[in-house]
Amino acid sequence: MSSFRHAGTVLTDHRFAVPLDHGDPGGARIEVFAREVVAADKAERADLPWLLFLQGGPGNGAPRPVGRESWLDRALDDYRVLLLDQRGTGRSTPAHRRSLARIGDAAAQARYLAHFRADSIVLDAELIRRELAGGAPWSVLGQSFGGFCATTYLSFAPEGLREVFIAGGLPGLTATADDVYRATYPRVAAKNREHHARYPGDAALAARIADRLRDHDVRLPNGTRLTVPAFQSLGLALGAGAGGHRLHYLLEDAFEDGLDGPELTDTFLAQVERRLSLTAAPLYALLHEAIYAQGRGSATRWAAGRIRGEFPEFDPDERPLSFTGEMIYPWMFEHDPSLRPLRETADLLAERDSWPMLYDPARLRGNDVPVAAAVYHDDMYVDHGLSMETAATIRGLRAWVTNEYEHDGLRAGGRHVLDRLIALVRGTA
């Protein structure tokens, strides 16, 4: 355990050994990393309650804050915060192409990764809580997929919870991956229309880029061919507050005059490569659809790609070209060099036909843990309708429905979003 200081904060690193499979506590073990953050003027307070932060993803490490930035500024007023690198992410035991190769063949890797969903993350958190908090319940803040994990926590270990705050992360309790994409593709289409209304020239520019990619062998700096479907996937940015503006600035720098006419700029291609790469978060690609799978017969079978066929406006040859959103497609495991060795593993996970349950609707209906959730009405990633069904199921949950923020509202809103959620739980809002 080591500590260091930033302006106004004291940060302490923790490492925990946990079972790979919580059903086999005497079996293989992995390491989970977490970073404690406390306000400098409260560092010696033993009575300061804990707030566990569960990051969005799946597959993303916790934030690396500098001082009291964003939502953390509000949290440190009241809590000692624990930033958890969920298993397989950040400084926890890694799960990427090199580490997974040491596990064994694709079948062994798929069996291993089946233990990296919300159910295992919650059981990790419970072990950590008992060690750090002395068994006392703690508060949990879940952003996006972290909210999915918090809902799993409420389902299976509510005794460990003092209160729960969820931002843009109320999952459909019984929704399949097919259900999720049938709900979200129309929302992505709406975000495309909004973007082109704000930036009328971008439709023609995107079409020019797509035509160039279709008719020419355009290579990213890493040597991978840039295809039209890969270009379309840049629409992931449309779900963030400033994402549409960043997409526009990317497109406006796309072309320059070359020896044989207009050609795509190195600046554009370098930025595209950076945005498309999942080298730093391979679990995002490997487990993204699996976070919706529950019970027998729950194989996702590349749901985003299958359901896309029901929405012809996303065809690569359609004009205006429609960008896609938070979807993972099989071609990504060929396009991204860091994912290519994991293609067979990804296929096996997509065909896995029996997954543990993640939510217990009956227990949630009897919930007695105070819960507040920010539901972003226009959220492109987490469907508002599914979220509201869940909000109505969880007994006592207070929902704040707003279109003031996009999916990244917790980060973009600074203190405001968390402050509102805390007020809802405490009954002052």
Catalytic residue set:
144, 379, 407
Q: Is the peptide bond before 320 cis (omega within 30 degrees of 0)?
A: yes
Check: CB of residue 62 under 8 Å from CB of residue 411.
Answer: no
Tokens standing for 334? Answer: 């060929």
Number of helices (H), then strands (E), belonging to the chain: the values are 18, 13
Q: Regarding beta strands 50-54 and 138-143, do their DSSP bridges make them parallel or antiparallel, or are they unpaired?
A: parallel
Question: 3-class SS at 253?
Answer: coil
The DSSP bridge partners found for residue 381 are: none
Tokens standing for 217? Answer: 């062998």
Longest dimension (CA), the chain: 70
Rounded to whole angstroms, how far apart are CA atoms 212 and 176?
37
Rounded to whole angstroms, how far apart are CA atoms 224 and 344?
19
Which of 150, 138, 137, 162 is closest to 56 using CA atoms? 150
The DSSP bridge partners found for residue 4 are: 11
| HEC string for 363-395 | HHHCCCCCEEEEEECCCCCCCHHHHHHHHHHCC
Burial class (CB in 10 A: 0-12, 13-18, 19+), 246: middle
Rounded to whole angstroms, how far apart are CA atoms 80 and 377?
31
Q: Regarding beta strands 371-376 and 398-402, do their DSSP bridges make them parallel or antiparallel, or are they unpaired?
A: parallel
Q: Any idea how long the chain is?
A: 429
Which of 240, 245, 250, 258 is closest to 206 using CA atoms? 250
Rounded to whole angstroms, how far apart are CA atoms 243 and 48?
37
Cα of first residue to Cα of last residue in the chain, in angstroms, is 39
> Alpha carbon 413 to chain centroid distance?
18
Rounded to whole angstroms, how far apart are CA atoms 183 and 180?
5
Check: CB of residue 288 under 8 Å from CB of residue 58.
Answer: yes
Which of 312, 302, 291 is closest to 332 using CA atoms? 302
What does the DSSP 8-state code read for residue 290?
G
